[in-house]
């Protein structure tokens, strides 16, 4: 089987090839022809929209993509301009960004960090994207944010609610407009106290992953602060579809309130199970049994149908808001697609505009210059009232909406009603808050890449 035919010439040839092969990578080192990663040199600039197009959050992803397309249209001067007209900063001219036409590439995160990073990398390495944005899960947001930090591009997070994104995993190149678990807890607590009293016993069912943990922690902390007692907190597997076995023990525990730290399909199933068990018709400790869902979305409310009626939760934005910015956005989104946008669409649209505006104000696409322009930037007219992009952790601070499932919905989109707009001061926290990774969490230094 073995045929040994070593010759001097053969050996030399082989070792030369092998040597060249081994040496090849060491000959070349990084070349820096550009001042920063993917510096746009032509007449256009490319943005990377990395959203889930398949998997559990494909609905949110599709809505995000619609919002991005709308944002690009507006940035390039098409359509009615949407929120660009109501935005407090007037740097955007409708002639692209810094005079360059905005182009975009899309990718599928599949709601998996690996796939999301692969997709983001291909946008950066192949398509020359200068900014990556989108996503509908905190795991993906954290993974892609770290990638963008390494590669030296800006990351504008999409829908991500876990504290970690701008908490312990915050990065200098990453920015989040969406609110987080802490804010949900802080916004909900006073409303709950007003409606349900201050001496309730809460039972938590928590999706067994990162976002679930931070939400449970946040809601626990803020409800306990106003006098509630936490009876138990039970983790449920993310892949669980039938929650009956988790709901049954709730009644025996003596709890009179159930907090569902679930999102998406999890929440739809657990809430449906809880309602089917008749929890809401029960009386415990002389009080009506109540259910709370800390993070709400319209798409979830749609999934859970009539079960959401009267259930409290929080949300980042809702299309029924009547301020000028929201109305402008709902109008142009509705004109283009025929239905109102979701909160995922809103946050991504705003992120795209905020990025473009920051570039205009900085006068450069260089990530560090853009980051500086975004840090401690105050703006208004984007649907959430006065908003601050805090420089210390790159988190937006704005009013938080406490919503309730509508009793008599007019249409399939009109499922939630805004109960209260919790002012920003109530949901403010210090950058080194223990829930946000404590004093250890740092942004690091911003990275221009190349």
Among 63, 164, 216, 360, which residue interacts with other proteins (rule: CB under 8 A)?
164
Residues 229-288 binding other proteins (CB under 8 A) are 235, 237-238
Cβ closer to other proteins: 139 or 185? 139
- Please, which residue, 211 or 312, has the CB nearer to other proteins? 211
Interface residue with other proteins among 59, 60, 64, 108 (CB under 8 A) is 108
CA 75 → CA 12, 320, 429, distances in Å?
Answer: 61, 24, 33
Q: Is 442 in the site for other proteins (CB under 8 A)?
A: yes
117 sits near other proteins (criterion: CB under 8 A): yes
Residue 9 touches other proteins, criterion: CB under 8 A: no
Stretch that binds other proteins, among 1-9, 218-226, 330-338, 402-410 (CB under 8 A): 1-9
Q: CB-wise, 147 or 188, nearer to other proteins? A: 147
| Interface pick for other proteins out of 77, 197, 201, 209 (rule CB under 8 A) | 209
Q: Alpha-carbon distance 402 to 421, whole Å?
A: 6
3-class SS letters over the chain = CCCCCCCHHHHHHHHHHHHHHHHHHHHCCCCCCCCCCCCCCCCEEEEEEEECCCCCCHHHHHHHHHHHHHHHHHHCCCCCCHHHCCCCCCCCCCCCECCEEEEEEEEECCCCHHHHHHHHHHHHHCCCCCEEEECCCHHHHHHHHHHHHHHCCEEEECCCCCHHHCCCCCCCCEEECCCCHHHHHHHHHHHHHHHHCCCCEEEEEEECCHHHHHHHHHHHHHHHHCCCEEEEEEEECCCCCCCHHHHHHHHHCCCCEEEEECCCHHHHHHHHHHHHCCHHHCEECCEECEEEEEECCHHHHHHHHHHHECCEEEECCCCCCCCHHHHHHHHHHHHHHCCCCCHHHHHHHHHHHHHHHHHHHHCCCCHHHHHHHHCCEEECCCCCCCEEECCCCCEEECCEEEEEECCCCCCCCCCEEEEEEECHHHHCCCCCCHHHCHHHCCCCCCCCCC
Q: In the complex, what is the shortest distance from the CB of residue 406 to other proteins, in angstroms, rounded to a whole number?
A: 32
CB of 413 to other proteins, least distance (A): 24
Q: How far is the CB of 122 from other proteins (least distance, A)?
A: 6
Of 146 and 388, CB closest to other proteins: 146
142 binds other proteins (CB under 8 A): yes
Binding of residue 335 to other proteins (CB under 8 A): no
Q: How many binding residues for other proteins (CB under 8 A)?
A: 64
Determine if 410 is a binding residue for other proteins (CB under 8 A): no
Binding segment toward other proteins, per CB under 8 A, in 80-88, 98-106, 394-402, 422-430: 98-106
Closer of 239 and 322 to other proteins (Cβ): 239
Q: Is 107 in the site for other proteins (CB under 8 A)?
A: yes
Give the one residue of 179, 196, 203, 211 binding other proteins; rule: CB under 8 A: 211
Q: Which part of the chain contacts other proteins (CB under 8 A), choosing from 323-331, 376-384, 416-424, 442-450?
A: 442-450
Residues in contact with other proteins by the rule CB under 8 A: 1-6, 10, 14, 17, 21-22, 24-31, 33, 53-54, 58, 104-108, 112-115, 117-119, 121-122, 125-126, 137-139, 142-143, 146-147, 149-151, 162, 164, 169, 208-211, 213, 235, 237-238, 440, 442, 444-445
């Amino acid at each position: 089987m073995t045929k040994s035919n070593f010759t001097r010439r053969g050996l030399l040839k082989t070792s030369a090839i092998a040597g060249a092969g081994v040496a090849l990578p060491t000959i070349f080192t990084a070349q820096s022809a550009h001042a920063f990663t993917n510096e746009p040199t032509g007449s256009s600039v490319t943005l990377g929209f990395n959203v889930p197009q398949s998997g559990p959050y494909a609905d949110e992803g599709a809505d995000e993509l619609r919002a991005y397309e709308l944002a690009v249209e507006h940035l390039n001067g098409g359509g009615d301009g949407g929120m660009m007209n109501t935005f407090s900063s007037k740097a955007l001219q409708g002639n692209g960004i810094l005079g360059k036409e905005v182009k975009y590439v899309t990718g599928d995160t599949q709601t998996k960090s690996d796939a999301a990073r692969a997709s983001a990398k291909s946008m950066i390495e192949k398509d020359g994207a200068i900014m990556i944005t989108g996503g509908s899960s905190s795991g993906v947001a954290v993974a892609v944010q770290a990638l963008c930090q390494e590669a030296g591009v800006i990351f504008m997070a999409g829908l991500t609610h876990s504290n970690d994104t701008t908490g312990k995993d915050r990065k200098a190149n990453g920015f989040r407009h969406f609110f987080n678990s802490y804010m949900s807890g802080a916004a909900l607590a006073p409303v709950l106290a007003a409606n349900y009293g201050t001496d309730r016993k809460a039972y938590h069912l928590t999706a067994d992953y990162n976002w679930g943990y931070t939400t449970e922690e946040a809601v626990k902390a803020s409800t306990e602060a106003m006098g509630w007692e936490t009876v138990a907190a039970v983790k449920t597997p993310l892949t669980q579809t039938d929650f009956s076995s988790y709901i049954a023990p709730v009644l025996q525990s003596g709890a009179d309130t159930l907090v569902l730290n679930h999102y998406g399909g999890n929440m739809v199933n657990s809430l449906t199970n809880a309602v089917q068990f008749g929890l809401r018709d029960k009386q415990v400790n002389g009080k009506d049994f109540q259910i709370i869902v800390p993070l709400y979305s319209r798409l979830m409310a749609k999934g859970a149908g009539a079960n959401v009626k009267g259930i409290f939760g929080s949300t980042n934005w809702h299309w029924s808001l009547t301020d000028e910015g929201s109305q402008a956005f709902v109008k142009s989104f509705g004109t283009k697609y025929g239905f109102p946008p979701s909160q995922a669409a809103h946050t991504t649209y705003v992120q795209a505009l905020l990025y473009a505006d920051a570039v205009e104000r900085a006068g450069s696409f260089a990530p560090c210059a853009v980051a500086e322009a975004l840090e401690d930037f105050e703006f208004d007219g984007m649907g959430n009232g006065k908003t601050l992009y805090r420089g210390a952790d790159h988190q937006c601070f704005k009013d938080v909406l406490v919503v309730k499932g509508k009793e008599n919905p007019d249409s399939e989109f009109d499922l939630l009603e805004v109960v209260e707009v919790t002012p920003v001061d109530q949901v403010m926290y210090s950058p080194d808050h223990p829930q946000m990774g404590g004093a250890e969490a740092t942004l690091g230094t911003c990275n221009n890449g190349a």
